């Protein structure tokens, strides 16, 4: 199962990063996070001053103090215990990753979730393959 997940992630990122064998970049703002409970969890826009960005340390979605931030270790979306959290290895309802409004995976450290994408792997992808 672990090898299948790794293969899925490799194929997923290859499909996002190449078209006809050529490297491609993506607009980071086209990626958003939303909780299965309907709560918007932010845009993956790399602009650290964008109010909706998870990279804005002072915004609602990037602050480690905000209740709607995956970076808040005490929020339902960022704690190691919340069922909606990206960082709970037992979560059954982690955040959904959307690309241009379409679900592409679940942001989670829970390796048993279908289409699980590790938060650190995903953030690395956003920083390396988007603008």
Q: Are 52 and 41 in contact (CB under 8 A)?
A: no
**What is the residue extent of each domain of the chain?**
2-129
Looking at residue 129, what is its pLDDT? Answer: 87
Closest CA to 115 of 124, 128, 131, 102: 102
Q: Longest Cα pair distance anywhere in the chain, in angstroms?
A: 44
Residue 70 contacts residue 41 (beta carbons within 8 Å): yes
Q: How far apart are CA 98 and CA 38, in angstroms?
A: 13
Average pLDDT for 15-26: 56
Global pTM value: 0.82
Q: Which of the 8 DSSP states describes residue 38?
A: S
Dihedral pair phi/psi, residue 32, rounded to 5° = -135, 165
Give the tens place of pLDDT for each residue, 56-98.
Answer: 999 999 999 999 999 999 999 999 999 999 999 999 999 999 9
pLDDT tens-digit readout, 28-40: 999 999 999 999 9
């Amino acid at each position: 199962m672990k090898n299948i997940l790794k293969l899925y992630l490799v194929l997923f990122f290859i499909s996002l990063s190449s078209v006809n064998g050529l490297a491609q970049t993506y607009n980071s703002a086209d990626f958003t996070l939303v909780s299965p409970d309907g709560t918007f969890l932010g845009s993956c826009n790399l602009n650290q001053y964008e109010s909706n960005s998870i990279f804005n340390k002072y915004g609602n979605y990037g602050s480690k103090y905000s209740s709607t931030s995956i970076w808040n270790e005490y929020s339902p979306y960022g704690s190691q215990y919340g069922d909606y959290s990206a960082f709970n290895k037992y979560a059954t309802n982690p955040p959904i990753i959307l690309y241009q409004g379409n679900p592409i995976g679940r942001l989670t450290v829970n390796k048993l979730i279908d289409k699980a994408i590790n938060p650190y792997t995903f953030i690395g992808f956003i920083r390396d393959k988007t603008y």
